[in-house]
Chains A and B, each alone.
Chain A
């Protein structure tokens, strides 16, 4: 009744091609952004912001990165965590070399390093496909993880081998380091994620995105149509790794606040991000957010939320049950909607359009 396009006429091609063609969608987006920018910092507690929202944003960005590669270009990667790690270590090195440059700039620049490494490990994708490629990307995962421990230059020859996050400020408000408030760190994450999502949305809706999708649907056909496979695939690896790298830098600098970075970027994280992309919906940006919310926040909420609701679960048992529930939920979701939460979202919107007279 309220969500429909009747009466919204489009007079230009641009308007017809818009990402959000329906007015209500645009209003909805504005409301969501409003909640994210104003509502959550006002209402959410410290724990909620630092342990639920910031991880959610970081993982969303990483999931967008992987979605560009897997969902849009059809190349499965199990090395996302390693590329995130490259971003984190690059950012750490950059802060030591350029202590005066603003940290947000450095976080973005560190994505470029990650992109370069991503291209390098993306080269085999020209010959290898499907699960074979997935396993091949594990080479990147394990090699880079080894390098994070074994190349002491990366962590400035620290005896503890840990990354320390120095304090950096913008207009005298500290953005990183321990004295940065969760709200500040949340805002920085949010701005980065919103800007990069907007950028990704433009990429995938444009010429580049279409060439990626052509490669995904059938690469030989795409090649015959004049798409250069080499360029398209490597660009997908570069962009995807860029997003992963920025997410990794954000993870260490805005969420973890330093520490033993090498045991963060493990194969398990790579798998988790793949979960997010698939549960959320392959080839959908909104799906990346939904998937990240589901996979990253569910265990936290179950762990800390269930006892609060009076479910008598604690310690180890809770952890075990969480594992079982997450496993069962993954299977359940796949059965109910194999195309991910994004498809559910779409179906919901479709139903709303005709509601309350669905005939």
Chain B
């Protein structure tokens, strides 16, 4: 690293991540304390004191904010999970994950509108996602094997465009209502009386959290205890070693893309139930990117914890600090949170340590 300017003084290693973090924290605190002392206009007071005052005086809103953050964090994490699965197994940075979410949800709702019963539609959608996985493996991945990462990344852009066109051609571009009732997903809210206020928890959000946890548990079991799971982990560790013990890479890729497709469908149902199913959702999917850099591209727990940190962080930031600069900071706050973490850990919280050799 290019830190030649920071020479070790008296045995303290300034390059150490902990020492630096502690120094920066101390500096910020010191500045904050001095600032509040000499702050005449009250700006610093608004930044460092007011928000915490609000948190204490209206704890119900704080709880609600954290809950909102938690739920959106779970949904970001689900999208990020799809990325991680594919990145681990095939090294492809799958930009199309966001559009796969929309495409899966659209297929489900579109099939239902065409008169297919809801649960049959789910099964058919899974079938479509499987066909998609096979097609991507045959048409895109196989011919591009061994190409640089960025080329594969570009190829997923191609997939994105193709899926947008295909989805709109088949099902039309108008936004659709998610078939929540038909899938027996709950509606309405639970209201908890709390600290003199109320916290309202949407049943669909609770369901989302539960389903997401279940799915992660199932995936963990699948990876840990099944033959295919072991094969997947082997591929993630080393393509060549996996090939040499007779694991078919092509087969693994299909499975991984199909798994990502299932994750996409579940994410699509949950997001769709919160607003509606349309291609505008694709933009929300970009929020999974800061989650990824925060958690690391190769770590499933990283995706989940990253999702929660980003979700809660951006909601708290927007709610308590956003109004100070006009609001709407949610659109970039997540990236700055992630960037802040990255400066200390360039490989993300749980990512594999990057070792460089010449």
Contact = CB atoms under 8 A, between A and B. Distances in A.
A and B touch in the complex (CB under 8 A): yes
Interface of A: 76, 124, 126-132, 135-136, 138-139, 142-143, 145-146, 149-150, 218, 220-221, 223-224, 229-230, 267, 271, 274-275, 278-279, 282, 316-317, 319-331, 334-335, 338
A320 B168 contact: yes
A12 B10 CA distance: 57
A145 B330 CA distance: 12
Interface in B147-173: 147-151, 153-155, 157-166, 168-169, 173
Interface string B187-222: 000000000000000000000000000000000000
B2 A124 contact: no
A136 B151 contact: no
A143 B2 CA distance: 27
Contacts of A136: 293, 335, 338-339, 342
Most buried by B among A230, A279, A335: A335
Contact of A330 (B155, B332, B356): B155
Contacts of B166: 320, 324
Interface in B256-303: 283, 286, 289-290, 292-293, 297
A153 B144 CA distance: 48
B338 A321 contact: no
Contacts of A124: 339, 342-343
B151 A278 contact: yes
Interface in B327-349: 328-329, 331-332, 335-336, 338-339, 342-343, 346-348
Lowest 5 CB-CB distances: which A-B pairs, in order? A323-B165, A327-B161, A327-B162, A324-B165, A330-B158
A229 B161 contact: no
Contact of B159 (A278, A321, A331): A331
Contact of B343 (A76, A127, A274, A327): A127
Given A135-B335, A324-B162, A327-B163, A278 B154 contact: yes
A317 B290 CA distance: 35
B93 A131 contact: yes
B354 interface: yes
Q: Report whether over half of chain B's contact residues are helix, strand or loop; otherwise say mixed.
A: helix
A127 B1 contact: yes
A136 B338 CA distance: 8
A146 B328 contact: yes
Interface of B: 1-2, 93, 139-140, 143-144, 147-151, 153-155, 157-166, 168-169, 173, 283, 286, 289-290, 292-293, 297, 325-326, 328-329, 331-332, 335-336, 338-339, 342-343, 346-348, 354, 356, 358
Contacts, number: 142
A317 B173 CA distance: 10
Nearest to A218: B358
B289 to A, nearest CB: 5
B358 to A, nearest CB: 5
Contact of B342 (A128, A149, A267, A331): A128
B4 to A, nearest CB: 10
Contacts of B162: 323-324, 327-328, 331
B157 A275 contact: yes
Contacts of B342: 124, 127-128, 132, 136
Nearest to A329: B158
B89 to A, nearest CB: 16
B93 to A, nearest CB: 5
8 contacts: A128-B343, A132-B346, A143-B332, A146-B332, A324-B162, A327-B158, A328-B158, A338-B147
A126 B2 CA distance: 8
Most buried by B among A126, A142, A221, A274: A142
A321 B167 CA distance: 11
A323 B168 contact: yes
A274 B290 CA distance: 19
B278 to A, nearest CB: 14
Given A136-B339, A220-B358, A267-B283, 10 more contacts: A124-B342, A124-B343, A129-B346, A132-B297, A138-B289, A139-B332, A139-B338, A331-B140, A331-B155, A334-B154
A224 B356 CA distance: 14
A320 B165 contact: yes
Contacts of A321: 165, 169
A146 B329 contact: yes
A218 B357 CA distance: 10
B2 A334 contact: no
A278 B158 contact: no
Contacts of A221: 358
Most buried by B among A136, A218, A278: A136
A143 B290 CA distance: 13
Contacts of A327: 157-165
A135 B290 contact: yes
Contacts of B169: 317, 320-321, 324
B157 to A, nearest CB: 6
Most buried by B among A131, A275, A316: A131
